[in-house]
Amino acid sequence: MKRIINAIRDFIYYITDYGLIIAVIAAMAVILVWRFDLLFSRGIDKEKIKDLPIVNEHVAEEPEPEEEPEPEPEPEEETPVVMASITIPQGSYPSQIAEILLNNNLIKSKEEFLTRCVELNLDTRLQSGTFNIATGTPLDDVIKIIANAY
C-alpha cells in the first residue's frame, strides 16, 4: 500500500514539474512571437535615435503682450472635420493596429507607422479600446493617442 501512495505522490510531483516547464516555455513563446511580429513585419534599420527631439506639447508659454490687436481675417470656408471611431481589440499586435488605422484612412503607410512607433519608444505602449481620431491628424499624434501618451 505504501508503494502505491509513494508512486502516486511521485507522479503528482512530476506532473507539476512538467506543467511548470510547459507554462514557462509557453510564456516565452508568446513574448517572442509578440516582439518578432514587430521586428520582422517590415524592413527597417533598428538604429538608436539619439538626436530625436523631445516633444512636450503641454508646456504653457507666456504670451507676449500685444500693443494693438490685429484685425481678424475673414474666415474661409472650413472643411468639416471627419472623426473616425476605431476599435482596437485586446491583444492586437502593432502591425494589426497599423492595418486598422490604414483601413480607416488615419495613416498613409503601415511601415511608416511601425517605424515611428519604435522611434518614439511607444511600440510597447499601444492600447486596446475605442478611439475617436480626426482624419488628417498627424502621425505622431495618432500614435500618442493610441498609446495614451498625452
> CB of 128 within 8 A of CB of 89?
yes
Length of the chain as a residue count: 150
| Closest-CA residue to 38 (of 145, 143, 127, 122) | 122
Give the H/E segment covering residue 129: strand 129-134
Average pLDDT estimate for 51-77: 55
pLDDT at 113: 92
**pTM, full prediction:** 0.50
Where is average pLDDT lowest: 20-24, 73-77, 120-124? 73-77
Asked whether the predicted pLDDT for residue 77 surpasses 90, the reply is no
Q: Using one digit for the tens of pLDDT, what is the confidence trace for 105-145?
A: 899 999 999 999 888 888 888 888 999 988 888 999 999 99
Average pLDDT estimate for 85-93: 89
Q: How far apart are CA 57 and CA 150, in angstroms?
A: 9
Average pLDDT estimate for 4-10: 90
Q: Predicted confidence band at 60 (pLDDT cuts at 50, 70, 90)?
A: very low
Residue type, 140: D
pLDDT at 136: 87
Asked whether the predicted pLDDT for residue 24 surpasses 90, the reply is yes
> CB of 79 within 8 A of CB of 128?
no
- 43 or 96, which is more confident: 96
Mean per-residue pLDDT over the chain, rounded: 78
Average pLDDT estimate for 13-19: 89
| Closest-CA residue to 150 (of 135, 102, 131, 136) | 131
